[in-house]
Amino acid sequence: MTVELTEPRSAATRLDENQFREVLAYIASRAEYHDLTGEFPFDAFDALRRIGAQSLTVPAEFGGGGAGIAEAVEVIERVGAADPSVGLILQWNYTNHLTLQRPDNTWPDDLKAAVFRTAVTEGALINGLAVERELGSLSRGGVPATTATRLPDGSWRIDGEKAYGTGISGLHWFTVTATTADPEPRVATFLFDREATGWRVKQTWDHLGLRASDTQTVIFDNARIPHSRLVDLRDPNDGTAKVRSAGRQALPLLLAANYNGVSIATRDWLVRYLHTRVPTALGAPLATVPRFHDRVGDIEAQLQTSRALLRHAVAEVESGGALPGLAKHVATTTAIRITESALDLTGNPGLSRSNPLERHHRNAMVGRIHFPQSDFVVTNLGKAAIAAGAPVEEEQ
């Protein structure tokens, strides 16, 4: 990709701004095609690889961008505005990179290095396979039905089925969580790569939105993995498991950024539409009508509130607390409300597949399924508020 650079590398994203804008425009131009076909967006990731986006959150010592959560949020919000299917896959890549750098991460150093170096040299993507249809999310409790059996030669055999393997067709690396076949079972996590045998993809992703996220089912049938690829082994009742899971503070923040991107794309399309739509009876663009000023103002207020909360949550992320989950809840509900409002304003044109608004709305609706789900966030906020307001008993 050749462009004449007139702007420096962006401090907000650590990517060259001119090249990044060009890639975003390309991704946006392909979003409709990928929505219609449901194909993994290889072309988008080829373009992102050329500007170093896949390795943005890889430590500088491995040749990566050395970015943290703040820069990753800025990138994902803009990629999400271009195509949130691409944004979802990329944010999982960033989430895993950032998790690997945490002090409580248990991975062997050589495997961390392999993941980081291939992200730099090949644009290699990584994600984790943990969810099962019967189990749901591990964050809700329970242990996987997928089994890991230790073999006489010391290697492991993996059998089972994982649901919702986002980006599976384009992943170089993926982790698999399973229950060991021991008298006292433990939960084990292994690092697979595409060259491993005994696994296959079952095409089951046929959702309303994020259709190009390639969130398929993955089946393991006598899959073999060497013991050296075991990256975590723990008692399912061990309290530190939740600590390590909670170490993924990046996840709700990056999900929030992706859905803020959907809201931004909706706002931008709506404003352009109001400037170009000139009803015969009015004789002027809809953008001149005060009623639309009020409605667009309400959309803008919701969007800016969500974006401000996200950045506040990023600034406070190391202090813990509920802000990351709240930012995700607000971003996803805001995206749904904004797209619904835009559909209400535009009527038939908004629902036509010739315009992207109906796609933005479908993509926004998928935000409800990602952890932490809104019921989880709101319930915890409610419990905390009620506990804080409990009357203090006076000492006798």
241-259 pLDDT, tens per residue?
Answer: 443 444 468 999 999 999 9
Helices (H), the chain: 17-37, 42-50, 69-82, 84-100, 109-122, 240-246, 250-276, 290-315, 323-346, 348-351, 357-365, 374-388
Single pTM value for the model: 0.93
Average pLDDT, the chain: 92
Enumerate residues 6+ apart whose C-beta is below 8 A from 12. 71, 74
> Residue 5: pLDDT above 50?
no
Average pLDDT over residues 259-272: 98
Element (H, E) at 161: strand 156-165
Q: What is the pLDDT of residue 394?
A: 67
For residue 136, which phi and psi values (nearest 5 degrees)?
Answer: 80, -145
159-200 pLDDT, tens per residue?
Answer: 999 999 999 999 999 999 999 999 999 999 999 999 999 999
Report residue 257 as tokens: 């950024």
What three-state secondary structure class fits 202? strand
Average pLDDT over residues 139-166: 91
> Residue 151: pLDDT above 80?
yes
Average pLDDT over residues 377-395: 86
